[in-house]
Structure 1
Amino acid sequence: MRDHSTRLALIQMLVDGAFHSGEELGEALGISRAAISKHMKVLRSWGLDIYRVQGKGYCLSGQFELLDEAKIAALVACPSLNVIPVIDSTNQYLLERVGQLPKGAVCLAEYQAAGRGRRGRQWLSPFGSNLYLSMYWRLDAGMAAAMGLSLVVGVALAETLQSFGAADVKVKWPNDLYYQDKKLAGILVEMTGQAGDAAHLVIGMGLNIAMPEHEGESIGQAWTNLTEACGALPGRNALAASLIERLQRTLEDYEEKGLEGFLDRWNRLDNYLDRPVRLLIGNREVEGVARGINAQGALLLETVDGLVPFIGGEISLRGC
Structure 2
Amino acid sequence: MTGLAPAVWGSTYLVTTELLPPDRPLLATAVRALPGGLFLLALGRKLPVGVWWLRALVLGVLNIGAFNFLLFFAAYRLPGGIAAMIMSAQPMFVVLLAALLLGDRIRAIHALACTVGAAGVVLLVFKGRASLDTVGVLAAAGGALSMALGITLTKRWGRPAGVGLLTFTGWHLTAGGLVLLPFWLALEDLPDTLTGPNVIGFTYLITLGAVLSYLVWFRGIERLPAVAVSFLALGSPVVATLLGYLVRNETLSPLQIVGMAVIFAAITLGQPRPPEPKPHPER
TM-score surpassing 0.5? no
Looking at secondary structure, tell me which structure has more strand per residue.
Answer: 1
Q: Which structure's CA Rg is the greater one? A: 1
State the TM-score, normalized to the length of structure 1: 0.26
State the TM-score, normalized to the length of structure 2: 0.28
Structure with greater contact order relative to length (CA < 8 Å, sep ≥ 6):
2
